[in-house]
Each structure stands twice: as C-alpha cells, then as structure tokens.
Structure 1
Amino acid sequence: MKNRISKIENDVQDRNSPAWKKLCEYVDKVAIENGDEFSPVEELGRELFSQIHTLPETISKLKNVKKIRLYGSNLKRIPPEIGDMESLEDFDPYTSYDLHWFPYEILNCKKLKSSRVSTRALYGNYKHRMGFPRLNHNPVRYFGDTINCSVCKKAITYHETNQLWISLKVGTDILPLLTNLCSKECEDKLPNPSENYVQFPHKGGSDLKQPLDEDELFEIEMKKHEKSEKLNQEK
C-alpha cells in the first residue's frame, strides 16, 4: 500500500484574474442560453483554461447541462454546487491529474450515468491506494464562510462541520467523496461505501488501513502460484 499523503490546498483560485472572470461570464452565457453542454476550454482557450483550478459556485445555474467537458484541466477541486446540475448525464474530467477527490454533492446528480476520470490520481483507488489526507489536521475550505451539510443541506459554519471521506460509485467510477456533516444523525444516513474500499466514513491519515492495492494482490497471487509449483515438483 502506498501511503502517499498529499496536502489539501485551499484558496486555490485567483478570483481576480482575467481567466476567472471569463469563466464566470461563460457560465452565465450557458445558463441564459439553456445550453446542454459545458466545455470551458473551448470558450477560454487552452492558455486561460490552464489558470482555472476550481469551477465557479454559479455552476448551480446550469440546470440544462447534460455534459461537462473538463479534459486535461488543471482543476484541483469541484465545488459542491455541482449537485444542483440536475440534468447532468456525462461527466468528463479525464487527464485532470490534480483532481484527487470530489464533493459528496455530486451524488445529487441523479441522471449522471457516465463518467471518465483518471482513476490513478484518486485517493484510495484500488490500483495503488493513494493515501487520504487527514481532515482534522488539514480541513477543506470552500469559498465563503459557511457550507451546507452534505446530507440535510443545513447551513453550518466550518467550526461546526464534521468532514469525512467516503468512496462511492459515481457514474461509471468509484470516487473518493468529501462530506460536510452537521451531526451524527447525518453521518448515519451516509450510504455504505463501495466494495473493496474502506468500509466506513473516515478522516484519512497515514494510519488509515486500506484494502490491498492491485500490485500487492498480484504479488500475493504470484507467491501462491510459486508455492503450488514447488509442491508439484516435489511430488
């Protein structure tokens, strides 16, 4: 298991940059036109889009968008407001290698059936089990002074929130999701984690025991095979 723990970055975006302002204008444009596709790289161009590290909270207005194209982005996070994109069917942030996790609220996109994510970049992925950052030492902060509970939607301060990781299926991938919870009651309402992942919501950290990764399982199978071959030769 690879316990590589990366530090959670907050304040990832320069919100005064021309790139950010153009992105916000593009969100408004798609919302006004009731567009069904959101592809910021085509609107901004590769140079400006490379300066974007999160999406505006105003993506909540994109009620008719069915597909998000974020291929090859430098995004570091997606805001919880993605959960308000009620028509979203196809989510494509492939080769966005700085996207290690996603907001729990993406589960609110009930029509989301297809996803294309670079899974090797994800915390806890079965291929190598990248370590989860410890949330009680390095909590995630979104833009603004309050956050909504991921389960009941109650507005709470960051001092009140309990942040936990949980791995669940989203579209066609199993993603590490960040929850912001206001109470033990809301924590108890979280679904069961996906099979072959940590089987409870957790805070992360280097002491978190994850299932064996792909290479470790292969090594175990090879040792079993070698032992079996040796026994057969001795007969």
Structure 2
Amino acid sequence: MADSTPPARRTFGNRFTADAAGRSQRTAEVCFRQPNARVRFHGERQDTSSPGWRRLLRLIDEAAADGREVFRPLVGLNPAERTDLVTLPSSIAKLTEVRHLVLYGSPLVRIPPEVGAMASLEVFEPYTSYGLHWFPFELTKCTNLRGSTVSTRALYGNYKYRHEFPQLQPVGSLATVPDSNDLDPQVWGTEKIRSCSVCDGPIEPARFQQVWISLRVATDVLPLLVNACSEDCVRALPAPPEGYVPMAHQGGRNVRQPRPSRR
C-alpha cells in the first residue's frame, strides 16, 4: 500500500463495500497509483470485537468440528460482516481436513502464518482479493498444495508490473519494540510475530530479521514474507525461480527487479 503519512496507532475500519451479490469490493484501488509515494504494508488493524470477526470464529469452529474439506467462509457472512475482516484468525490452524480454501473477492489485506498448519490444503483460491499483495512464507508448508488462483496483478514484484516491495526493518529492530504481540502492521506487515517462519523456533528480537522472497507456490509465483529467527534460517531459504529477484531481500526502491514482461 503506498502511503506517505505516518502510521496511525488505532484500529481502522476496513475500506471495502459489498456489491449486490455480497462480494467484497475495494472502494478505490490506490495501492500502486501514488507516484513517488513510499509503498507500505496495509495498516488496518483487525477489530476482534466486530460481528464479522466473531461470526468467522464460529464458522471456523464449525468447519473444524465437522471435518469439512471445502471451506468458503465468506459465504457464511452477510455483506456488512465481510467488511469487518482484515485478516483471518489464527484458529485456521485447526482446519487440518480442509482441502479447498475459497476466499474469492475477500476484503483481506493479509493472511496469518497459521495457514501453514492446514496440512490437507490442496487448492488455495483468494482470487480477486485485491488487498492481498503478499503471503506468509508459511504457506509453503502446505505440502499438498497443488492449485492456486491468485490475482497476480495485485502482487508485489509481479512479472507484468514489478510493483515495489515495502522496505522491511533493519536486522534487530524488533528488540526496540515493547511488545512483539502488538506491532504496527503498516511497519511489520502483521500485528504479532510469534515464531520463525522457517524453523518454527522462538524469536530472539536482537537476531530477528524479515526478508522477502518470491517462490512458486502451487501454480503461482508469490511474494512471501519471511520472519526469520536468524541469518542461518535466511540462508536456508530456497532459490527463487528465474525471472524474479534472485535472492532474499529487504525490499524498498533499491531492489533491482527484472524488467516487466507483458507476455
């Protein structure tokens, strides 16, 4: 999200409306349309007291209890409830039987790392979720994932547009934050950092570092955010495919991306 204003420390209302069919729509897609503006993460915070969030928690509990294989959470929400959503709850980790996750037309701006616990996931479908510009590295831990439908034109580093990656914080910056469970999402891309994206180990703030890496996940090359506990875990990352930044990096305007391709 391009924004030259300082991040606000409050819960934001989600800037989405819904059409007559109940599909979430951006009121204005401006994330990459502000010339010379610094690209930043979306800063919306999830209101966990909202009706939509509470209803989503119940839907996840129901899906976990009945072991369903296809989960379409937005279908169970009315248009007003959908506009409450900024992310998914960490409780999606309970959905170990779900094979197909449908988030078509969602208002989400981030996916939590707990998605990596969805061990049976085979098809991931966040198509036309235009606020999703990146995904957590933990998505690569869904080893059964074979199909994805993603709006790639909205992604950082996409081969057609080469949108800029947000600049990540310097190594060790997490040590200056009072509480790693209350982070500014516009700065860190998340409100909580609990464990290493690579090894699942604990985070030592002074050694913590974030990096971007572009990897093929199912049928798409996705920009993935890595929350790493150490340089060793960064070095353990796989190599990106040809046609993308060839290494893990920290984003910003100094990153040299390949030229856009219109193929």
Cα deviation for residue 143 of structure 1 reads 3.9
Cα deviation for residue 188 of structure 1 reads 1.0
After superposing on structure 2, the runs of 4+ consecutive aligned residues of structure 1 that deviate more than 6 Å are none
State yes or no: 1:193 paired with 2:240. yes
User: In structure 2, do the counterparts of structure 1 residues 198 and 141 end up closer, same or farther at CA, with 3 Å as the change threshold?
Assistant: closer
Q: State the TM-score, normalizing by the size of structure 1.
A: 0.86
Aligned partner of 2:140 in structure 1 is 107
2:47 aligned to which of 4, 14, 21: 14
Task: State how far apart, in whole Å, the 1-side matches of 2:63 and 2:260 are.
Answer: 41
Tell me if the contact between 2:195 and 2:203 (Cα under 8 Å) persists in the aligned partners: yes
Tell me if the contact between 1:3 and 1:130 (Cα under 8 Å) persists in the aligned partners: no
1:97 aligned to which of 130, 153, 160: 130
Aligned partner of 1:48 in structure 2 is 81
SS at match of 1:156: coil
Deviation digits for residues 125-182 of structure 1 (CA, Å, limit 9, x no counterpart) = 00010000001176425344x4211111112155542000000001100000000111
Task: State how far apart, in whole Å, the 2-side matches of 1:209 and 1:100 are.
Answer: 19
Cα deviation for residue 39 of structure 1 reads 0.6
State yes or no: 1:116 paired with 2:164. no
Aligned partner of 1:83 in structure 2 is 116
SS at match of 1:31: helix
Tell me if the contact between 2:45 and 2:191 (Cα under 8 Å) persists in the aligned partners: no
Task: State how far apart, in whole Å, the 2-side matches of 1:139 and 1:116 are.
Answer: 27
**Mean Cα deviation higher: 47-56 or 167-176:** 47-56
Q: Which amino acid aligns with 1:135?
A: L
Aligned partner of 1:174 in structure 2 is 221
Aligned partner of 2:188 in structure 1 is 140
1:131 aligned to which of 152, 164, 169: 164
User: In structure 2, do the counterparts of structure 1 residues 10 and 45 end up closer, same or farther at CA, with 3 Å as the change threshold?
Assistant: same
User: In structure 2, do the counterparts of structure 1 residues 11 and 159 end up closer, same or farther at CA, with 3 Å as the change threshold?
Assistant: farther
Root mean square deviation, CA, Å:
1.9
Task: State how far apart, in whole Å, the 2-side matches of 1:170 and 1:120 are.
Answer: 16
Structure 2: segments with no counterpart, 5+ residues: 1-34, 171-185
Tell me if the contact between 1:35 and 1:65 (Cα under 8 Å) persists in the aligned partners: yes
- Bigger share in helix: 1
Task: State how far apart, in whole Å, the 1-side matches of 2:38 and 2:217 are.
Answer: 23
Among all aligned residue pairs of Structure 1 and Structure 2, give the percentage whose two residues are the same amino acid: 45
Larger relative contact order (C-alpha < 8 A, sep ≥ 6)?
1
1:155 aligned to which of 199, 202, 214: 202
Aligned partner of 1:210 in structure 2 is 257
